[in-house]
Amino acid sequence: MGAILLIRHGQASFGTGDYDRLSETGFAQARVLGARLRRHLPQVDLVLCGGMRRHRETAQTALDAAGLSIGWEDDPGWAEYDHVAVLAAYKPHWADPARMQTELAATADPRRIFQQEFAKAITRWVSGAHDADYPESWTAFRARIAGALTRLRQRLDKSQTALVFTSGGPISVVVQRLLQLSDETTLRLNWTLANAAITKLIYSDRGLYLSTVNDHAHFEGVHPDLITYR
């Protein structure tokens, strides 16, 4: 059998001027992830990134730590949904990141408040009742991820291993597709995906199957401080 490892990026830089870059914790997570890949993967035949800076930084850092000289390719099909557009459709004044940060900073717990508001924004997007408000609807996003997965599977020969450095949204949608989950359950799954965690798919001539979800054992016990979800 072959394997596809969907890897969520390391922690990004929430609350800064450029979210789409790894935090120091994110780089540390990627190095620990790479050490695990070095111990457990005999070979890697293909590496893809979703095209975002946080995907690329996670990939390069992990591959360096794993001692793998293989290069990676960008496939924007694995990019995350536009969270700024999703938020702006729900709270138009949050289209201005500075204004959003100022408003959140005035609260007692900015991260908690942001998460609450973001969950409401995502629920609105997924409902399908306001598709015209978004550059990419939830249905279109799911179709994009399905297309990226199909393209990847078509590139792989028997018993090969591919790494895909992506985000929580695409990983959740793949799991939804393989397990036939509801949208509501898929959203709950998305909130639980740890940074730099591995979701493993296996494939053969008989089909594509889910093997593990959200595996972040490389942090548990030795590096519990590196377990983050945002």
For residue range 85-96, what is the model confidence (pLDDT) as tens digits?
A: 999 999 999 888
For the question of whether the overall pTM of this predicted structure is more than 0.75, the answer is yes
Tens digits of residue pLDDT in 111-124: 888 889 999 999 99
Same domain for 71 and 19, yes or no, is yes
Same domain for 63 and 98, yes or no, is no
Q: Hey, what's the torsion of the CAs at 6, 152, 63, 67, to 10 degrees? A: 120
Same domain for 16 and 107, yes or no, is no
Q: Are 24 and 50 in contact (CB under 8 A)?
A: no
Same domain for 196 and 116, yes or no, is no
Tens digits of residue pLDDT in 11-66: 997 666 667 889 999 999 999 999 999 999 888 999 999 999 999 999 999 999 99
Same domain for 75 and 94, yes or no, is no
Rounded CA separation 46/63 (Å): 12
Same domain for 101 and 213, yes or no, is no
Same domain for 13 and 107, yes or no, is no
Residue 208's H or E segment, with its range, is strand 207-215
Tens digits of residue pLDDT in 155-180: 999 999 999 999 999 999 999 999 99
Q: What is the mean pLDDT of residues 69-92?
A: 94
Rounded CA separation 183/78 (Å): 19
Nearest to 55 by CA among 105, 107, 7, 1: 7
Q: Is 141 or 110 the better-scoring residue by pLDDT?
A: 141
Q: In which residue are the tokens 């979210």 written?
A: 19
Rounded CA separation 131/209 (Å): 31
Same domain for 71 and 151, yes or no, is yes
> Which of the listed residues 112, 135, 158 is the one where a domain comes to its end?
135
Residue 100 has pLDDT above 80, yes or no: yes
Longest CA–CA span in the chain (Å) reads 56
Same domain for 155 and 72, yes or no, is yes
Q: Are 189 and 180 in contact (CB under 8 A)?
A: no
Same domain for 183 and 168, yes or no, is yes
Rounded CA separation 186/175 (Å): 8
The token duo for 12 is 């990004």
Burial class (CB in 10 A: 0-12, 13-18, 19+), 180: exposed
Return the DSSP state at 206.
T
Same domain for 158 and 217, yes or no, is yes
- The number of folded domains in the chain is 2
Q: Could you tell me the CATH number of the domain that includes residue 151?
A: 3.40.50.1240
Domain of residue 117 covers 82-135
Same domain for 45 and 119, yes or no, is no
Residue 186's H or E segment, with its range, is helix 183-192
Tens digits of residue pLDDT in 178-216: 999 999 999 999 999 999 999 999 999 999 999 999 999
CA angle 193, 58, 115 (to 5 degrees): 35
